[in-house]
A and B are shown apart, each in its own frame.
Chain A
């Protein structure tokens, strides 16, 4: 595949409440930051991830476009998914060879509605959604299937977050990702733009897979799709210094660490992970950004990032980031 690398990453200082900024206003500073970091003002391709039901209105991405200064008109697309999947679309677009840069961003304000109930709406509309099965409840079903020291995961995530200036300042460890508002952006480069730069996190593998939907028809102690995505992305082809996992519930880390085949010494979620800040629709993208940051600042030679979608880890994306291309 054509080499592609992360050249810039920015995120908001996330809040656990509505800071009074609209979604386009949240995006504005992170777009500006990645433009400055990358030295690029225009991009060959732009892709974003957001969710209408989170925003409480259709077309939440339309006004976000106004925050970019998208003029002259840009090559742009949008996924109604976490922005990590927008990054995947951008990575695919860069494979064509005719464009060398991509801007990816995601945003969400979970503070506006009841996230736990909004997440009910992504369930099977005949058998599950009418039951009112909320996000905490279906996560609870999976939790009951998984064995592990969940408080230890919560504690480690909380301690790691103490040095993350973008994370929420939570008074104590939590096993459930907190309600968060925020945004994030990443710039990808390829071709000449990649050749002329040195401080990059190369994406040496990226893949995603989806599992069947109904939680009662899956083995909730495992994640077949995460394992398949990890194999396709080549996680096992080298050591993994750092893994940033989209863990919205502490028990998910146990399922994911096994599915991804992470070696024992891997440092998991040094940013504190989603248990420290969970701006839904940007959370997965931030995992890629955080993993890339560890590679770019030299604290990791090879890092893994993971993003998820759907109930009980139904859909999983895995990327491998490396100092070497």
Chain B
């Protein structure tokens, strides 16, 4: 784990379908300045900048950190660019934290973004190289069969996905930055929307958003303001084509959770954590990840969802911010989870604050559910 590291600033843009009013640099800078303001700092106080985003094809700018260096006050400093598929936002936070934990820097600015309106996510994720014949259309087309397999194994009733879709959008109504804010959202509304990739309905999928998120990370001696202490951080990756790979509950997710729990002294996540921000881009991934992350036994995840345990007033709220189902600038989505976890334990989550939250999980995954990044943050110094 190395040296202590704390989140001392969080900045987000409002997430929306199209941010027509800003350039790419303007978008990331907006989040960066808000994070700096939260920490009471300026660019001059920052030692290094880490940028994360999903594939460069989304905006058609290759290695955009080169162009973004000026806007992020990085000139004369080290700058890194992370890309680990959908988990990238989480990985970016961990790379930034690593610079502090390794004793290399005192203050690191971490920024992740996506400006998906510049192109089309399904196009960018489904560029077909010659010779490969994978019949996958976008992320939904990829994940739908694995959701079906989960439903078969667990015997979960069909409406569980609907419950998650409603719960996260109700939470989003309390988050001013959320993209999808749907007044009157209820089960009937979700169930009235068409199946896109059966068993996934339209309102059970995440939106496509423009947005950026930034956090300022600090060493113990450089802390300003209200810190959220990093109690543990872990990443795990596994090969996609391994024979016998469990695509419903990937081993990499199980191992990553075990690692981060061990670092943070968590033995029972449902009891020891107060809130979790987990990467749920399709509603059914809530029960799937509840099991993968050990919040319950195998095939029991849907029962927690059904019982309301993960609701804002449940015993272990998941995605109080509205989650990926409500805001999804892909490259930033993981960092938003990590940042929201920090906001909760800092007591700064506003209307979606979980009362008395002291310890929170931030989670991200990517690729074919094969890349995982997690951290646990707490109000107390570890």
Contacts and interface: CB of A to CB of B under 8 A. Distances in A.
Interface string B339-382: 00000000000000000000000000001101100000000000
Contacts of A76: 235-237, 371
A10 B231 CA distance: 37
5 contacts: A62-B240, A75-B237, A78-B82, A89-B80, A309-B63
Interface of A: 1, 46, 51-53, 56-59, 61-63, 65-66, 68-81, 85, 88-89, 92-98, 118-119, 121-126, 129, 207-214, 224-225, 228, 309-311, 314-315
Given A89-B95, A122-B63, A210-B79, A66 B236 contact: no
Contacts of B124: 58
A232 to B, nearest CB: 9
B82 A212 contact: no
A74 B237 contact: yes
Given A209-B77, A224-B76, A228-B76, A118 B57 contact: no
Interface string B58-95: 01111111110110001111111111110000010011
Contact of B95 (A70, A75, A77, A125): A77
A134 to B, nearest CB: 13
A225 B371 CA distance: 33
A208 B78 CA distance: 5
B66 A75 contact: no
B108 to A, nearest CB: 11
B104 A62 contact: no
B240 A66 contact: yes
Given A59-B367, A78-B83, A97-B2, A70 B66 contact: no
A225 B75 CA distance: 8
A146 B370 CA distance: 47
Interface residues of B, number: 62
A74 B236 contact: yes
Contact of A75 (B80, B99, B125, B235): B235
A213 B115 CA distance: 20
Contact of B66 (A85, A89, A314): A314
A59 B126 CA distance: 11
B237 A213 contact: no
Given A56-B129, A59-B55, A95-B103, A81 B81 contact: yes
Given A96-B1, A209-B77, A314-B69, 12 more contacts: A52-B83, A59-B85, A61-B84, A70-B238, A73-B252, A73-B256, A75-B235, A77-B82, A89-B80, A209-B76, A212-B70, A315-B69
Contacts of B127: 56-58
A71 B239 contact: yes
A121 B62 contact: yes
B102 A96 contact: yes
Contacts of B59: 125
A58 B63 contact: no
Contact of A95 (B95, B104, B241): B104
A213 to B, nearest CB: 5
Nearest to B373: A77
